[in-house]
């Protein structure tokens, strides 16, 4: 379980998080929505301790992240996988080596084991035949799927998604969202998905939070958000159309 308690983060005079609280239960998919530039990605960096909060706590399975050092911090980070906005692939490595890079760094697998896990992970995302290609030879949607295969290969307990459909056309965005949903159901992982893509967020969420002006102005279900009369919610979803729902496709 991930628990966020009274978390504060500012950059100079810019207050990004102003005492937010959130509980992510095991196996749950929590979507953090909000307009661009509101601090959604900052939240993910705080959860992986790539950034430090100004105050407040982040508890990972009961362990206070701010108190962890050395091997204890490394072991906690190994519980996480992250799909970045750009997929963050290494251009000089072929796809198999991109997917297997974390396994090799972990140094607990033989090369034959790495080859099998890598192949299985690529097959899971529908890319079994691209292992010897390079990132530049793939489309944006395929690169996202490779990034997801790399995450899955490490068998994480938690997966963090930073704008997983950014830069993709609507059809490819829907394909990536459905693949993420399939991974969540198959692997029983706990997920935090940051997005401003409303159809994707509604499709993936067990729980939604809306980040607005440093606070979670709404926390609840998809149905609750659709029916909310809060000004911040209505302002955010004003252009949303029911027919855009991925569940209807």
Model pLDDT for residues 203-221, shown as the tens digit of each residue: 999 999 999 999 999 999 9
Q: Which two tokens stand for residue 69?
A: 């050092």
Grade residue 244 by pLDDT with cuts at 50, 70 and 90: low
Residue 131: exposed, middle, or buried by beta-carbon count in 10 A (0-12, 13-18, 19+)? buried
**175 vs 193: CA distance, rounded Å:** 16
Distance between CA atoms of residues 23 and 51, nearest Å: 20
Position 241 confidence tier, pLDDT thresholds 50, 70, 90: low
| Beta-strand pair 80-83/29-33 | unpaired
Residue 249 has pLDDT above 80, yes or no: no
Q: Is the pLDDT of residue 90 over 90?
A: yes
Closest C-alpha among 243, 211, 188 to residue 16: 211
Decide: 143 and 93 in contact? Cβ < 8 Å.
no
Confidence of residue 183 (pLDDT cuts 50, 70, 90): confident
Q: Would you say the pTM of this structure is higher than 0.95?
A: no
The rounded mean pLDDT for the chain is 92
Q: Which of 17-21, 156-160, 245-249 has the lowest mean pLDDT?
A: 245-249
- 56-83 confidence digits (pLDDT tens): 999 999 999 999 999 999 999 999 999 9
In the chain the domains, ranked by start, together with CATH numbers, are 2-248 (3.40.50.300)
pLDDT at position 108 is 83
pLDDT > 70 in the chain, percent: 96
- The sign of the torsion formed by the CA atoms of 121, 88, 205, 1 equals positive
> Does 242 score more than 80 pLDDT?
no
Give pLDDT, residue 86.
Answer: 83
Two structure tokens written together for 131 = 């292992």
Instruction: Yes or no: say if 90 and 133 are a contact pair by the CB < 8 Å rule.
Output: no
Q: Would you place residue 167 in the very low, low, confident or very high pLDDT band (cuts 50, 70, 90)?
A: confident
Q: Does position 134 have pLDDT exceeding 90, yes or no?
A: yes
- 48-57, 177-186, 198-207 — which is least confidently predicted? 177-186
The 3-state DSSP class for residue 7 equals strand
What confidence tier does 246 reach under pLDDT thresholds 50, 70, 90? confident
Share of residues in the chain with pLDDT > 90 (%): 77
Please say if the pLDDT value at position 169 is more than 80: yes
Q: What is the mean pLDDT of residues 189-199?
A: 93
Asked if residue 73 lies in contact with residue 58, where contact means CB atoms within 8 angstroms, the answer is no
73-87, 212-226, 228-242: lowest mean pLDDT where? 228-242
């Amino acid at each position: 379980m991930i628990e966020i308690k009274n978390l504060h983060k500012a950059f100079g005079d810019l207050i990004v998080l102003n005492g937010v609280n959130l509980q992510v239960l095991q196996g749950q998919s929590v979507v953090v929505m909000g307009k661009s530039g509101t601090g959604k990605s900052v939240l993910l960096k705080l959860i992986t301790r790539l950034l430090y909060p100004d105050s407040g706590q982040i508890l990972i399975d009961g362990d206070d992240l701010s108190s962890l050092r050395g091997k204890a911090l490394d072991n906690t980070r190994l519980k996480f996988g992250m799909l970045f906005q750009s997929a963050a692939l290494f251009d000089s490595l072929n796809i198999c080596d991109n997917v297997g890079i974390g396994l090799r760094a972990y140094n607990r697998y033989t090369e034959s084991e790495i080859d099998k896990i890598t192949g299985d992970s690529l097959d899971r995302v529908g890319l079994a035949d691209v292992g010897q290609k390079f990132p530049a030879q793939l489309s944006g949607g395929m690169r996202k799927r490779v990034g997801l295969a790399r995450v899955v290969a490490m068998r994480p307990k938690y997966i963090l998604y930073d704008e997983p459909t950014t830069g993709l056309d609507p059809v490819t965005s829907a394909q990536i969202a459905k693949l993420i949903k399939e991974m969540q159901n198959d692997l029983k992982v706990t997920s935090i998905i940051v997005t401003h893509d409303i159809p994707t967020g509604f499709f993936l969420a067990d729980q939604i939070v809306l980040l607005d002006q440093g606070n979670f102005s709404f926390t609840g279900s998809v149905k609750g958000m659709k029916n909310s009369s809060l000004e911040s919610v209505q302002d955010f979803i004003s252009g949303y159309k029911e027919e855009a729902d991925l569940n209807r496709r």
